[in-house]
Structure 1
Amino acid sequence: MADANALLSTCSYTEKTGRALFAAVADLGSVAGWMSFDAGRHHSAQQLFFTALHAASESGDKALGAHILQCMARQMAHLEHYEEALDLVSLAQYGARRQATPATRSMLAALEARFQAILGQVEDSARAAGQAEELFADVHPDEEPDHMAFFDEAELTATIGIAYQIATKHDTGHGRTQRAETSLDLLGRALTLRPEHRVRSKAFDHLGLARPHLTVGEVAGAHQETQTALALFGAIGSKRVGDRLAELHDEAEPYAAAPEAAELRDQIRSAVTTAA
């Protein structure tokens, strides 16, 4: 990124070439920022995302800018700044409203569903989830920009599944059970759709499946999904996955008297400590 920015600031080029160069640097910055985020280097990630966002603005590619904003939103949510995350999604939706492709609009709606659920706005979350699914029906992968290649049906389904999983925490009785079942169905479907090389995403999917099991007291199901997530975590060493495992460890505390829950917590603690 430093070398690329040095070229932009010291070389001469036509306006058309300059826009293409800035777009390339913005795309590079989003990837570098995401790598830093996944490694837990949050300050570095934020700097890279801001640099990438500036480059996207210089390129005039508002859809690419929206993609970078959603990366920033995911990081804010990971750091538990949920209102800021939702604000970034809203900014992306507004800024790219004339240039955004169906995949971009669907992705942003799916993230809105997730962040609304975190904030307890379950009806708004369900509305956004439905909108994301409707928008995805218009997606033609060969007409989407390269930076949107990651957002396939598996990613959409997983994101909405996580939104429902989070919403279970804000519901009780039959509603909670129904949302948990919807979450399990969606996340299970996402897993079947995931390409084999998306190992990190699969780890998140299995963790997503473990959490609604735990929410409704099905410790055995949570234990089984966590075993798979731990095996995948050992293969990739993602700090993001490690943080989600630590959250699951804390969420399992009320069930610690059950042998499977106690074992689940011990295994998570051991895996996360070893990775650190």
Structure 2
Amino acid sequence: MSVERLAAAIRAAAGRRGLRSGTDAARVRKWQRGGVAPNEESQIYIAEALGLPADIVRADDWPNWIPVPADGVVPLGPYSSVPALREALRTAMDRRDFLTITGAALSAVAADCAASPAAALAQTHGEKPIDDDLVAALENTTRHFAALATEQRQHTTTLLDALLSTVTDVLEHGRYTPTLGVRLHHLAATLSQTVAWHSFDQGRHTHASQTWIAGLHNAHAAGDHDMGAGLLSDLAYQLAWRSDHTAATQILDHALTRATHPAARCLLELRRARALAAQGDRTEQRAVLRALAAAEQHLNRAGSDRPGWCAWVSEADLAVDSGQALLDLGDTARAHQLITEGERLLPAARDKTRGVFLAYRAASYLDLGEPEPAAAAARESLLLARRIGAPRCLRLVNDLLPRFQPHTAAQGVPELLQAAAA
């Protein structure tokens, strides 16, 4: 709906009540830019003009009460960063996990991001001055929680949600310099990525999607192409987890057009290789091998000065993801060798990843017809996941349990099944 049509519809809504509204296109544009908020009466007219019930209006929460489009995704734009954050926070609050954002909708977001230049920062109109000390405190607090051991991070979900809500309020209502604005948008993107991974690990996929999307909007606002590409790759990873490998590949193709840092490109190529291999199309074998070779080359050039969100990418990830891709291609022996090597190389601090890698190793042993070491790896993964609070890892192990049923006489299998049932 154009601003002219919306203004006319608002005047018509007032006219049906025997009243007059002076709303014109210029006033609608002021509302859109965020410098002026419509009064409660005008918001009721806006709801009616958009075909929404009047009781949806919350005058003190303009414009966040307006629902997102039918596909569930806030469109990318110069003023979209705060509405996207609000949508993610609302999804967390009312647990709307029965909604699903489709792969097609996420692919469209990726295409928009790939085609759009970095958004100019929206002019701040808030009345509450924000200074460097507050932004630094928020940044330091975020880094502190992100640096906690995996076992401790399971207790920080509520605190991280509160931090993200605080940063959103500061962005929306604060008055700050353009330099601080860039830092705040980058902080919102970083926090969104962390919160989204927590939700994803807990199986709350809709909240994870909305929060990654909110991070994407803020990375776009901050002009951080690499981080935007990383957030797209997280969405692709989620789609691959939900077995939508075609949409995952499409998103990663878009993300690779924006990523520049070798570590970022390594991660994207690894995930692309996994998504291509999982499609089960043997004609894609060469594309998978090319992606794995590209990932290795990028990792060799990555160096130590990396963006924080992909600083963890290592030889261990290269080995295990390569092994998983080769497993899908049917190269079982080589896949098992790489997965075992990657699990051995993994730093002790990455317990959650270790649990996932152990589950992968168990699957590769089963593919080789060796249930005893498979049971040992699966049981270690199960106990580790329970200790650190990693439901996603638990699901990987639980999905393997039916494959152990024909091997109940093998050493370690009864103990695994008993531990899983406990």
Deviations 1:40-82 (A, max 9, x none): 1112111111111111111110101011111111111112222
Task: Assess, with a 3 A threshold, how the Cα gap between structure 1 residues 116 and 251 changes in structure 2: closer, same or farther.
Answer: farther
Q: Separation in 2 of the partners of 1:165 and 1:258?
A: 26
Q: How many residues align?
A: 256
Q: Tell me if the contact between 2:266 and 2:299 (Cα under 8 Å) persists in the aligned partners.
A: yes
Contact 2:270 2:291 in 1 (8 A): yes
Q: Tell me the residue number matched to 1:149.
A: 311
Alignment of 1:94-133 (within 5 A): 94-96=257-259, 100-120=260-280, 121-133=284-296
Instruction: Normalising by structure 2, report the TM-score.
Output: 0.57
Residues 185 and 222, structure 2, Cα contact 8 Å, conserved in 1: yes
Deviation string for 1:224-273 (max 9, x for gaps)?
Answer: 221221221221231110221122123445x35654586377246415xx
Q: 1:263 aligned to 2:408?
A: no
Aligned to 2:336: 184
Output the CA distance in 2 between the equivalents of 1:260 and 1:91.
Answer: 47
d(CA) in 2 for partners of 1:190 and 1:221? 16
Is residue 32 of structure 1 aligned with residue 223 of structure 2? Answer: no
State the shift of 1:187 in Å: 1.7
Structure 1 stretch displaced more, 257-266 or 76-85: 257-266
Give the Å deviation of 1:14. 2.5
What is the aligned counterpart of 1:84 among 247, 262, 274?
A: 247
Check the 8 A contact 1:200/1:238 in 2, yes or no. Answer: yes
Tell me if 1:225 matches 2:377.
yes
Please say if residues 263 and 306 of structure 2, whose CA atoms lie closer than 8 Å, have aligned partners that are also in contact.
yes
The one of 15, 20, 33 equivalent to 2:183 is 20
The structure 1 segments of at least 4 consecutive aligned residues displaced by more than 4 Å after TM superposition are: 256-262
Residues in 2 aligned to 1:138 and 1:83: alpha-carbon distance in whole angstroms: 29
Q: CA deviation at 1:15?
A: 2.4
Relative to 1, partners in 2 of residues 1:89 and 1:35: Cα closer, same or farther, differing over 3 Å? same
CA RMSD between the two structures? 2.0
Give the corresponding residue for 1:196. Answer: 348
Separation in structure 2 between the aligned mates of residue 83 and residue 261 of structure 1, nearest angstrom: 38
Cα distance in 1, alignment partners of residues 251 and 322 from structure 2 = 18
C-alpha separation in 1, matches of 2:415 and 2:252? 34
1:155 partner amino acid: D
Pick the aligned partner of 1:236 from 388, 392, 413. 388
Give the letter for the 1:101 counterpart. Answer: H
Cα distance in 2 for partners of 1:261, 1:250 equals: 15
Q: Which residue of 1 aligns with 2:209?
A: 46
1:30 Cα shift?
0.3
**Partner residue of 2:363?**
211
Q: Is the 8 A contact 1:105 1:135 kept in 2?
A: yes
Helix, strand or coil at the partner of 2:257: helix
**1:161-180 equivalences in 2 (<5 Å):** 161-168=323-330, 179-180=331-332
Distance (Å, rounded) in 1 between the aligned partners of 2:269 and 2:344? 23
Unaligned runs of 5+ in 1: 169-178, 272-276
Equivalent residue, structure 2, for 1:75: 238
CA distances 1:106-162 after superposition (whole Å, capped 9, x unpaired): 111111111111002333222211111122111101x21112112122222222122
Contact 2:382–2:420, Cα closer than 8 Å, also in 1:
no
CA contact (8 A) 1:30 1:52 kept: yes
C-alpha distance 17-127 of structure 1, shift in aligned 2 (>3 A) = same
